[in-house]
Amino acid sequence: MTEPVIALSHSELKTWTSCRRRWYLSYYRSLTPRAGKPTGVVHIGGNIHLALEGHYGYNLDALQVLHWAYDELVTQHPGNERDLSKDLDMACAMVEGYLQWAAETGLDAGLNTIATEHEVVNHITLPDGTPVSWRAKLDLLMRRESDGRVLLRDFKTVGGFEKAATLILDTQMRFYAMMQALAHPDPASRVDGAQYLMIKRSKRTARATGPFFEMAEVSYNKHDLNSTYLRSLAVSQEIIMARRRLDTGENPLYVVYPIPSEFCSWGCSFRDACPIHDNGSRVEDMLAAEFTEHDAYLYYDTSRIERAVAALG
């Protein structure tokens, strides 16, 4: 029987290189925390992405999309209505400010939207002969009227703009540009540059300190894209080998050890579960109580924007 082709995204590749244990729990075990509060910075970012997808891709009023999204969340989580209302205020202030800033600066002048939340899939054969599918979901593809070249824009909701100085090293947009080049060999369809559009998490009150928005542009040449391709091949091969070793019963403590970093303290869903793997505690009981199975690629689902378009379009 032929083995199913494994799909790999940049998020999975990055998770593997960042922490093998987090990859093991998120992607190999497909675990996620049991339903918690639908509030906080991660959810605000997701709802702002939805609003901007509606704005750029479907000509919807971005603020109306936000209100629709939070109304839906309140219906699903009535006990969190008060906190959701606070998050809505923050999200509206950020999106309203962004749209004003974009209009004042002429950010979108001479650019036409090609696609929003655009999925790209490339079928790749690894060095050992294993077929995999690389997947990417691009926030916004735009074409420049002046020369017909394609630009990739990625929206980031951020606490500050410190990352701007190191964006040239960021692997996400390199991977996306490489994916577009593989899918469209014609140079006219390749990504000419990547725009990081950063929206600061701020209500822009009188006491708040600007700037609140920043765009950084990065371009990649053929050498950048080839390097990204080779690196992605190497990481993909490591993941496939790890899956095979785990499938045959090798000890996860040996195959997928943790790689601690600052991210553990603020971004890892398995922060409390991680040390229990190492101290002899009943880790499986803890995982069963605190986590549930979840498709790590669920963010590729388009049903939410489809509901928004049906309601507001």
| Predicted local distance difference test score (pLDDT) of residue 1 | 43
| Predicted local distance difference test score (pLDDT) of residue 2 | 54
Looking at every residue in the chain, the average pLDDT score rounds to: 92
Q: Alpha-carbon distance 155 to 304, whole Å?
A: 18
Task: Show the low-confidence residues of the chain (pLDDT under 70).
Answer: 1-3, 188, 299
User: By the 8 A CB rule, do 201 and 41 touch?
Assistant: yes
Angle between helices 171-183 and 10-18 in degrees, nearest 10: 140
Per-residue model confidence as pLDDT tens digits over 249-305: 999 999 999 999 998 988 898 999 999 999 999 999 999 999 999 888 876 778 999
Q: What percent of the chain stands above pLDDT 90?
A: 73
H runs (alpha helix) in 150-293:
171-183, 222-247, 252-255, 263-266, 283-290
Q: Which fold has domain 6-312?
A: Lambda Exonuclease; Chain A (3.90.320)
Residue-range domain boundaries for the chain: 6-312
| Predicted local distance difference test score (pLDDT) of residue 3 | 63
Query: pTM here?
Result: 0.89
The H or E element containing residue 293 is strand 291-293
Per-residue model confidence as pLDDT tens digits over 85-110: 999 999 999 999 999 999 999 999 99
